[in-house]
Amino acid sequence: MSRQVFAYIIHKDGKADDTAMEFAVAARKLDANAEVTAVVAGTGAALDAVANEVAALYKTVWKIDNAALEYPVADMVRKALVGILPKDAVVLVPHEHFGLDMAPGLSIQLDSPYIADVVDFESLDGGTLNAVRQEYSGMVSTHVACDIEGGAVITVRPGAFQADENAAAGGTVADKSGDVGDLTVGRRYLETVVAEVGDVDITKSEILVSVGRGIEDEDNLEIVHDLAKAMGADVSCSRPIVDAKWLEKSRQVGTSGQTVSPKVYLACGISGSFQHMGGIKGAPFIVAVNKNAKAPIFQVADIGIVADILEFLPELTEAVEEA
């Protein structure tokens, strides 16, 4: 019997997360011969919509519909999964706030090994999986080996696998709701308190458009906000901008400001003092735009562009908007 891989699909507002597409690719990379099943949990019409959406990507979709899962509390989802998954299941879970909540415990209850935050699958040799993960905020990577014959719970970093836009599985949805049993757990969801608008936590941002004194004037900040909006990024800055009170302190990157770990950091008119760079962790993809070709930022950036940000940024914004 071929290996059974289950991709747990998170969703919001009736739409599947991007990881749904990524996991289809990841599962094949893990084991091209595996039988891959997507699992969705929730309730009602929203869940049906997600299940149908996911069926386009996976041959089989298991649906767990339970009124208690209207808000999928991790303890509850775990209980439901333990009820239906085979012992030797290889389960893929997105490595984000829900996955972190649910997956480690699942590995214990399934008595399977747990591999966290995988960014790539290197090889599968017999039953031994060789996967790549990162440590120390992405400064170093490691290969890890694990016997997955008896199953495994693996969290996969969102965005690590490139989605296959052309995938078309035409799968079917199987309703597993009847098998999950009682979902009473010791943790009850109360409410979600939405963060105040304008109160951006740049430490959690994935893309940052960061502005330094190259912006010259407060009025010019508009071009930075425009670019950030177009890119879906947040705006951060270096100390002089905060000192000038052009942006709030919570947006300052650096040793005396916030420590950020985005995926992409676009440094605009920032010279790159080590006080500033000390606030950037996790080896993001750094693009530096600075009119001074000798600015130290170019030492640490991945991509450098010698240009006046006042001219360059509006053009970039235009290009991003068109794309």
Partner 1 sequence: MEILVCVKRVPDTSENEIQVNSSGTDIERDDLVYSVNEWDNYAVEEAIQIRDRVGGSVTVMTVGDDESEEVLRREMAMGADNGILLSDDAFENADGRAVASILKAAIDKGKYDLILTGAQADDGAGQVGGMLAAMLDVPYASLVNIIETIDDQKIKVGREIAGGNQEMNEMNLPCVLSIQTGINEPRYVGIRGIRKVASVEIPTMGAGDLGLDADAVAPKVKRLDYFVPDMGEGAEMLEGSTEEIIEKLMELLKAKGGIKS
Partner 2 sequence: MEPALIPPAEAAVLGIPTIIFSVLIPVAGVALFAYIMAKRIAPLVFSNPDFRFDRIPERVAAVFKLWLAQWKQPRYRLAGVIHIMLFAGFIILSIRSSSLVVIGIYNDFVFPGLGGALGHVYNFFKDYAATLVLVAALMAAWRRGITKPKRYDVPEKYGKPHTGEALFVLAMISGLMITESLFEGTEAAAAVQKGLEPEFIAPLTLAWLFKATMTAMPEGGLQALHVIAYYIHDLIFFSFLCFLPLGKHFHVITSLFNVYFLKLDKGAVKPVKWGVDDEKLDELESFGVKTFEDFTWKHMLDFYSCADCGRCSDQCPANAVGRPLSPRFISIKARDYAFSHYPLKGRLKESEPLIGGIYEEDEIWSCTTCGACEEECPLMIEYIDKMVDLRRGMVDEGNVPQSLQKPLSALEKRGNPWGKMEKKRAEWATKDKEFKAECEVKVLEKGGDAETLFFVDSISSYDDRIIQITQSAARLLRTAGIDFGVLGKLEKDSGHEARRFGEEMLFQTLKEMNTEAILATGARRIVTADPHAYNALKKDYSGLPPVLHISELIAEAIQSGSIRLNGNGDPGKVYTYHDPCYLGRHNNMYDIPRDVLDAIPGIQRVEMEKSRDRSFCCGGGGLMLFYEPIEEQRMGQLRVEMAKAAGANVIVTACPFCMVNMEDAIKTSGLEGEMEAIDLVELIDRHQAA
The site for partner 2 (CB under 8 A) is made up of 213, 216, 239-240, 243-244, 249, 255-256, 273-275, 278, 296
Q: Is 96 in the site for partner 1 (CB under 8 A)?
A: yes
Residue 135 found at the interface with partner 1 (CB under 8 A): yes
Separation of alpha carbons 170 and 306, rounded Å? 49
User: Token digits for 88?
Assistant: 């030797």
Residue 243 identity (one-letter amino acid)? D
Please tell me whether residue 253 binds partner 1 under the rule CB under 8 A.
no
Q: Does 87 bind partner 1 (CB under 8 A)?
A: no
Nearer to partner 1, 84 or 185 (CB): 185
* Contact of residue 213 among partner 2, partner 1, none (CB under 5-8 Å per partner type): partner 2
Q: Which stretch binds partner 1 (CB under 8 A): 24-32, 43-51, 68-76, 235-243?
A: 68-76
- The SS3 of residue 262 is coil
**Phi then psi dihedrals of residue 314, to 5 deg:** -60, -35
Residue 244 is a binding residue for partner 1 (CB under 8 A) = no
Output 43 or 255, the one with its CB closest to partner 2. Answer: 255
- CA gap 27, 25 in Å, rounded: 5
Q: Tell me: does residue 25 bind partner 1 (CB under 8 A).
A: no
Does 192 contact partner 1 by CB under 8 A? yes
Identify the burial level of 84 via C-beta atoms within 10 angstroms of its C-beta, where 0-12 means exposed, 13-18 middle and 19 or more buried.
middle
Q: Does the protein bind partner 1 through residue 37 (CB under 8 A)?
A: no
Tokens 């008119």 belong to 269
285-288: list long-range contacts, CB under 8 Å, 24+ apart: none
| Residue 105 binds partner 1, judged by CB under 8 A | yes
Amino acid at 162: Q
Cβ(91)–Cβ(106) below 8 Å = yes
Complex with partner 1: residue 136 or 167, whichever CB lies closer: 136
Under the criterion CB under 8 A, does residue 73 sit at the interface with partner 1?
yes
